[in-house]
Structure 1
Amino acid sequence: MKKKWMRTAAAGLAAAFLVSGCSKSLPSLDKEEESGVSEKNVYDMIYFGEVSTLNYLETDTEVDYALCSNLVDSLVDYDKYGNIVPGLAEDWYSNDKMTEWTFKIRKGVKWVDCEGNEVAELKADDWVAAAQYVNDAAREAGNQYIYDTGGIVKNAQNYYDYTEYMILSDGGKRTVDENGEKITRVS
């Protein structure tokens, strides 16, 4: 009885393989013939979380950086081979020790608002303002760690510590005028 059952099961399995082998062929993974573009060249990526902010000066999450890096230009960029190419800087050079860098900013680049209206001309002070923003302890920017080693801006951590001291001591006041933000110690 057991042998008969095994023979029947083997015959059924063989028949299933035979029938499945006679079915029509599987669709091609290359859709070139339909669209002219190979799907092998398409890269899909799903973000693993929600974007928490579009303020790239405050965030420290990979999801936020991934999105913002596609929305904001930088001084230099990378080509498809990973070579550094001009971005917002047309040209740049450093001193012999590579401790000071000078970037020639492209003329005619404008800041725009959320509706695409031109707001202001891009200028070098915009990068200084960004560094001050990130290193202001009151902002609690998640990416301040980029500056705290002093590898990008010398004494940036001292600036951060000073702004933190001013806040914690409650002996200072912040004022904003046409020249920018000032922190004044009140005796």
Structure 2
Amino acid sequence: MSRTEHPRTAHLQHVEGFGTVRVDRIDPDADAPLVHRWVNEERARFWGMHGTTVEQVRDIYAHLDSLTTHHGFLVHRDGEPVAVFQTYDPEADRISECYEARPGDIGVHLFVAPTAAPERGFTEGLLTVLLDFALTGRTRIVGEPDAANEKVLARLARTGFELGPEITLPEVDLPEVFIPEKKARLAFFTRS
């Protein structure tokens, strides 16, 4: 699989025993129906898009696609879509009101797609690739999962993230996007 076959590919990496992971910029028109199905499941309540329509999902990712500071990606393993990954410049995001960003910081969000048959080691394998991708040219990852999402917080701690304090991310109310206030927990990952 070459990058020319997938013009929106941002990263391609093979992990022995796990497979080939391809990280493509989200195509808002083509990918919205799939992402919409994922984010409207009950398990996705912390993602913040529960109850959206396909058109709203398309509009959200079209807005992200128009920015130079925030990016949405559809992650594939061996050709199958398995996750949504978002990166952002913390200094251009509401999180900048809640912690002191350092040069080299990059913010991330990860949503692993639902699966009928959970696979042991899957999230760990996926995170290996996504952390490599996010840290390209960067020194530290910052995340801010929902403070009530104990499962994700435990996963981040096992992966090597340092859990920080709880924060309140302020509401964003702009003509092109609305994001409600959120109680979150800071999490930092620095490559050793």
The verdict on a shared fold, with TM-score over 0.5 as the criterion, is no
Task: Select the structure that is richer in strand.
Answer: 2
- Between the two structures, name the one with larger relative contact order (CA 8 Å, sep ≥ 6): 2
The structure that has the greater radius of gyration is: 1
